[in-house]
Amino acid sequence: MLLSVPEELGIGFIAGLASRAISTPLSVITVRLQTETEGEDEDDELNTKKGSPHESREGLKRGSIIGTVQRLSEEEGLQGFWRGFTTAIPLSLNPAITLFLFQVFRKISSRYSVQKNQPLATPSAGSAFLGAAFSNAISTILLYPLILAKTRLQVHRKQGASSETMFSIWKRALLREGIPGAYQGLEAQIVKGFVSQGITMMVKQR
C-alpha cells in the first residue's frame, strides 16, 4: 500500500521521535561516563588525603553505569535523563524526509529502469546508494540550521550558558555572518551523511 505524503512524513517523524525518546537517556549516560572523570582525579587525591570516607566511596563509583545513573538522578532528577530532548524533536524530521525522498527516488527511477520486471522494493546497489545519499543530502540542507543550533546550544550549556536558546544562536549567527552563518560546516555534514546513509541503505536493500 502506497502512503500519501503527509502519512509518509508523519509516520517517519513519529518513528524518529520514538527512537530519540528511547535513545536520549542512553546518550546522556554515555556522555556523562565519557566526561565525568575529567578534572576530577586531583579531587579524588585530595579527598583521599583528607580521609573522607564518603568522598572516597563516591570516587570509587566514578566510571560505573550504576554510579553515573545515581548521580544524574540526584543532581537533575528524572528530567536529567532527557536533557536536550526538546531541541532534538525537530530533527526527527531528518530521517522522515530522507526516507520519503528515497521512496520518491525509487518510484521515479523504476519508471525509466531498463529491467521492467525488477520489483520496486529491490533497487540495484548503486541505485540504492545514490538515492539514499542524495535524499539525506537534501534533508540535511533543509534542516541544517536546526542541526547547527542544537550543536551550539549543547556547547553553550556545557559552558554554563543556560540562558541560550536556539533563536538566540540563530540571531547571533545571522548578525555575524549573514545567511552563511546558519550553514557553517554544512559541507562536512553532507559528506558524512552522504556516505553513511548511502552505504546503510545500499546494504539494507541488498
The pLDDT score that the predictor gives to residue 160 is 65
Nearest to 165 by CA among 84, 99, 106: 84
pTM for the model: 0.62
The widest CA-to-CA distance across the chain, in whole angstroms, is: 79
Which candidate, 88, 63, 79, places its Cα nearest to that of 154? 88
Higher pLDDT, 45 or 7: 7
Q: What does the pLDDT read at residue 141?
A: 92
| DSSP output for 84-97 | THHHHSGGGHHHHH
Task: Outline where 85-165 has alpha helix (H).
Answer: 85-88, 93-111, 125-158
User: At residue 53, does pLDDT exceed 50?
Assistant: no
End-to-end CA, the chain = 21
Residue 80 makes CB contacts below 8 A (sequence gap 6+) with 28, 72, 73
Instruction: Please report the pLDDT score of residue 138 as a whole number.
Output: 92
Between 136 and 159, whose confidence is greater? 136
Q: What residues does each domain of the chain span? A: 1-83, 84-206
Interval 2-21: pLDDT, tens = 667 777 778 878 887 888 88
Residues near 29 by beta carbon (within 8 Å), at least 6 away in sequence:
65, 68, 69, 72, 81
Mean predicted lDDT score pLDDT of the chain: 75
Q: How confident is the model at residue 47 (pLDDT cuts 50, 70, 90)?
A: low
Q: List the single range of 50-59, 67-76, 107-116, 141-150 with lowest mean pLDDT.
A: 50-59
What is the number of other CB atoms lying within 10 angstroms of the CB of residue 25?
17
Mean pLDDT, residues 169-176 taken together:
84
